Structure formats: structure tokens, C-alpha cells
Amino acid sequence: MSDSGSLKRVPIEVLGHQYFVRTDGDEEHVRRVAEYVNTKSREVMEATQTISTVDLFIKVAVNLADELLQERSANQMLRQRVAQEAQDLIREIDSHLNKEVPAKP
């Protein structure tokens, strides 16, 4: 983990409010995250007519957490399916390798 002296302060704007995010990562990634939060915030605002910033951000956080958990679940199921298919292929290859090879004259 890096110390706070090596972190960059990246300015972002979310719903017209400026914030600074400290990161040792890619600044462009932080900006993409902020834009995603803006998009989700606008979607929630339009769908719920929420005026309170705190209520809005709580609803956005819940929506983003739900989205994250769904993606993690889908990712886990995909990993399991890939692992199973890999095992199936290994068994198939082993069965072909273990077949008796006719003796050469």
C-alpha cells in the first residue's frame, strides 16, 4: 500500500459538486468512475424524483451495490462453468491419450 504522500488529488464533479479523490491509480479511470456515478445519479433522480442529495446518494449507493453483487455472482458462475469445461476437456484429452495405440510393425 502506498503512503499518502504519493497519492494524486484528482478533481471530479458529481451532480455539480466538486470533490477531490486521492489515488495512486489512473486519473482517467477516476474520471470515468465519476461520470458513471453521475449517470447513475441522474437515472435515480429521474426515476424517483428525489431532491435530497443525501437520499439520492444513498439510493445510488444501493443501486450500485446491487449492480456490483449481480456482476460478482455472474462472474463467479462463469468462472465455475469455465473450470468445469476445462476439467471436461482434460478428461477428454486424457481418454484419447490413454487409448491403446496400435503397435507399429
Quick check: is 104 in a domain? no
- pTM as predicted: 0.70
Quick check: is 44 in a domain? yes
Question: How many domains does the chain contain in total?
Answer: 1
C-alpha grid cell for residue 21? 479523490
Host domain of residue 74 = 4-98
Tens-place pLDDT, residues 39-67? 999 999 989 987 788 899 999 999 999 99
Quick check: is 105 in a domain? no
C-alpha grid cell for residue 18? 466538486
Residue 10: how many other CB atoms lie within 10 Å: 19
Quick check: is 8 in a domain? yes
For the chain (105 residues), the mean pLDDT of every run of 10, in chain order, is 72 93 94 95 89 89 96 98 97 87 62
Quick check: is 37 in a domain? yes
Quick check: is 73 in a domain? yes
Q: How far apart are CA 71 and CA 22, in angstroms?
A: 26
Quick check: is 66 in a domain? yes
Please report the pLDDT score of residue 75 as a whole number: 98
Q: At residue 16, what is the residue type? A: G
- Is residue 13 a contact partner of residue 19, using CB atoms and an 8 Å limit? yes
* Rounded alpha-carbon distances, angstroms, from residue 17 to 11, 25, 67, 72, 103: 10, 22, 24, 30, 78
